[in-house]
Structure 1
Amino acid sequence: MYAILDIETTGGKYNEEGITEIAIYRFDGHKIVDQFSSLVNPEIPIQPFVVNLTGINSEMLRHAPKFYEIAKRVIEITNDCILVAHNALFDKRILTTEFDRLGYQFEKETLCTVELSKKLIPDMPSYSLGKLVRSLGIPLSDRHRAQGDAKATVALFKMLLDKDKSKEIITETLRTEPKRQLEPKLIDIIKNTPSETGVYYMRNEAGKLIYIGKSKNIKKRLTQHFTSDNRKSKKIQLEVKSVSYEKTGNELIALLKESEEIKHNKPIYNRALRRTKFTHQLTSFVDENGYINLKIEKADARKKAITTFGNYQQAKTALYKIAEEYQLCQKLTGLNNTENQCFNYTISECFGACINKEPVAKYNTRVQEFLNKYSFENQNMLIIDRGREIEERSVILIENGIYKGYGFYNLNHQINNPAILKSIITPMQNNRDVQHIIQNYLRRKKGLKIVNLSPKTVN
């Protein structure tokens, strides 16, 4: 659990500042579960430059509560939390000083979004909160006011969690929250997970990842893990001490995150999923008569694949649909092994490419239409899908036929502005597995929104 906060002060000498405004959002890693904000009467003058910066003056604070009047609420909302702030050392020092004056020991672990941003989003022009969130397309209202800055920090921290592929933030959280690290019963772990789509991470007592999985219903999948009596599940049941999760909103991003993070983290119980996810591929060649032929082959990294399949039967079923949709000859797609005319020609559903009757250019035009639609080569596009919340959408970026990564957005200008689009995308590795995942998903999900981009749009 995190307490994401922002504090405005009077300015002045070091350790003599007073709080003028405070905002705290209690954040469970996925959503805000509690919040508190208040003006505070610091009982000391406010420096003129601070008045100009924040707009908060002494008259506004005349009837505001003093810190001791809100101290109990601050303790309650930050209980069992790691403090998160933009320049966290400052906010923690101010809070610690105020509680010291009350004779109360306020000790909290901290995470700084400035330091995390420098590590996870390198090469940004500025890491000041205002300029950074503007570059990332994160809305910010009431700059230099506690509530506006804290709300923007929540959105920034959420993005940083998405970009943290090594899960260092979560691992550090578990290390500093031993009470939350060890759940005594598996049923308690299940109780704390949602019935939503996402990726889940199982850790042992030392906080080390032992298994990564994805599911359209995380709670249901964990129940299966913890009630199964197969050999691997029994080992997991003995070793698992905590499970964290990330909601993805849709299955495609869950599949892509699972694939990437298994390869990156190599959990001990994910050995089977480290292997290639497909066995067959669809290729093309031009025959001696000039016709473009399609052919199902066993997966071979040395050959350029149009698309890939999990098994031969899946490939054959898909090719039948492709041949029907584009009116392709079954002989030239390898579906009808014959030396003469194909079966479909005998029932007038083939135009005769199998016996050189249909003009080559006419037939190849239909094949090329298929290739242009299904091959990623040289394509620049966005795949838009559901997000983690009702008002949110996900975006996957394909640039020059290469999978670049994914991101989440709330406002259309975030994907229409190339600079912001680049910044909200969490970079991911492109490989044949992710190409297979995306192509297979697009074949199954016909209603997805695809935005075609010109090469200049994303470069």
Structure 2
Amino acid sequence: MQTNRNVKKNLYAILDIETTGGQYNEEGITEIAIYKFDGHEIVDQFISLVNPEKTIQPFVVKLTGINNAMLNSAPKFYEIAKRIIEITEDCIIVAHNAQFDYRILRTEFSRLGYDFQRKNLCTVELSKKLIPDQPSYSLGKLVRALGIPMADRHRATGDAMATVKLFKMLLAKDLEKEIVKSFVKTEIEKGLAPKLLDIVSKLPSTTGIYYIHKENGDLIYIGKSRNIKKRVNQHFTGTTSKSKKIQLEVFDVTYEETGSELIALLKEAEEIKINKPKYNRSLKKSIFPWSLYSEKDRNGYIALRIQKTDARKKELASFSSPIEAQSALFKITDRYELCQKINGLEIVKNHCFPFELNQCKGACIQKESPEEYNIRVESFFENNEYQKQNMIVIDRGRNIQERSAILIEDGVFKGYAFFDLNYQVNNIEILKNIIIPMKNNRDSKNIILNYLRKKKVFKILSF
């Protein structure tokens, strides 16, 4: 089976331009940096000094360090114009204060008699919407507040690379997926209709979230998987009623790598609630239909009991199946030396079986007092959940250099972030700025507790 090698991806040309300064529409370009970005990684780049054929304003020389002598042997704009057209073709231009950079480019091309037109996005406007209440939205101050490392400030390469990292963070914070929805709409305007095989071939075999769109960009399904490509392929080859409907309506699939399976679970649950895709009906039901509750029995012993989840009651833990719940209760009973009979794990008239093995202290036959027994149950309550705890769960990131962090403050789940440098996670104020906020609710709490019970994470930091 052959695949189409010219598979379409979401492409952005993230750029920064340095100019001579001067009067409006009389500025000349002195340096340009363009990074072609597919929403996940840089796939091409073009960086060049440019001879503007005019004098640079003295304040600009001081700001950028670029002087007239440096540009004497640099190419003139007409010499690099073709490369700029090629690298930005089929891309949305992204820049910090895009109105300025896009105007400068259009002006230079118009001098050559060419009408340069591209759709564009401004990271200033996106930041104001997705990271509100920042004291400043200038590129330098904003990336510093977000813990994004920056080199060569006021040079095109440094500013453009910082904008790439900022845009990647903004894509993650865009829970309503307005950015990718707008891109899918752009693709349909061009009359592109990729086949199912082409869609699958552009997807990665990594952990994350995938979004199935119809022609107008609307989301019809959101899913998570440890292998996005394999899971989407199952939708496209499935024979169930839902699979067949998705196959008929799908126009494109976008995705977001998370690296961490825990983040993928949290994002799936929250984004389905926000976007309400029509083929995600199953998640309208409780994700955790079984829960563990406590109650005093008639003899005064605190019993731990598995029951169907009741939203009116406060659960100790929740589970996706009765088998999973029973397994967890056996472990709790064993770890805290509790009684299987009191916890409903053994139905007997007299003492429970572990009493014969000296693994139960005799609460089942009232040999141990309720006061002594309940101390161990209370110990389980204290260690059971992250109530009132301040902790950061460190897990794998989207690549080898990166880690993910989940922030829980005063027992409240705040959200997640990705970081490259330890100071971003050790400085709690910077971590709060880069956090992608998520709702603290019954589902998010249970997803985290369930995951920490079953899976190993890299590290848990308390603060």
TM-score, normalised by the number of residues in structure 2: 0.94
Amino acid at match of 2:124: V
Residue 181 of structure 2 is aligned to residue 171 of structure 1? yes
CA contact (8 A) 2:49 2:75 kept: yes
Match of 2:279, SS state, is helix
Q: CA deviation at 1:348?
A: 1.4
Q: CA deviation at 1:289?
A: 5.3
Find the aligned partners of 1:274 and 1:180 in 2 and give their Cα distance.
36
Amino acid at match of 1:283: Y
Residue 68 of structure 2 is aligned to residue 54 of structure 1? no
CA contact (8 A) 2:30 2:71 kept: yes
Find the aligned partners of 2:131 and 2:78 in 1 and give their Cα distance.
38
Alignment gaps of 5+ in structure 1: 454-459
Q: CA deviation at 1:269?
A: 0.7
How is 1:48-87 mapped onto 2 (pairs within 5 angstroms)? Answer: 48-87=58-97
Residue 453 of structure 2 is aligned to residue 452 of structure 1? no
Name the residue aligned to 2:306.
296
How many residues align structurally?
A: 453
CA contact (8 A) 1:197 1:214 kept: yes
Q: Deviations over 1:294-321 (max 9, x none)?
A: 1112101111111101121210011112
CA contact (8 A) 2:184 2:215 kept: no
Match of 2:155 among 134, 145, 148: 145
What percent identity do the matched residue pairs reach? 64
Q: CA deviation at 1:339?
A: 4.4
Amino acid at match of 2:309: A
Find the aligned partners of 2:259 and 2:65 in 1 and give their Cα distance.
39
Name the residue aligned to 1:197.
207
Residue 427 of structure 2 is aligned to residue 417 of structure 1? yes
Q: Deviations over 1:123-145 (max 9, x none)?
A: 00000000001011111111111
Name the residue aligned to 1:374.
384
Find the aligned partners of 1:47 and 1:447 in 2 and give their Cα distance.
54
CA contact (8 A) 2:13 2:88 kept: yes
Q: CA deviation at 1:179?
A: 6.7
Residue 263 of structure 2 is aligned to residue 257 of structure 1? no
Residue 116 of structure 2 is aligned to residue 106 of structure 1? yes
CA contact (8 A) 1:174 1:180 kept: no
Match of 1:130 among 101, 125, 140: 140
How is 1:176-325 mapped onto 2 (pairs within 5 angstroms)? Answer: 176-178=186-188, 182-287=192-297, 291-325=301-335
Find the aligned partners of 2:456 and 2:213 in 1 and give their Cα distance.
37
Q: Deviations over 1:132-184 (max 9, x none)?
A: 01011111111111100100000100010001011111111122233777433
Q: CA deviation at 1:275?
A: 1.8
Match of 1:90 among 100, 116, 121: 100
CA contact (8 A) 1:262 1:274 kept: no
Match of 2:418, SS state, is strand
Amino acid at match of 1:336: E
Name the residue aligned to 1:456.
none
Change (3 A) 1:318 1:448: farther
Amino acid at match of 2:318: T
Alignment gaps of 5+ in structure 2: 1-10
Q: CA deviation at 1:104?
A: 1.8
Match of 1:170, SS state, is helix
CA contact (8 A) 1:442 1:448 kept: no
CA contact (8 A) 1:203 1:241 kept: yes
Find the aligned partners of 1:257 and 1:103 in 2 and give their Cα distance.
48
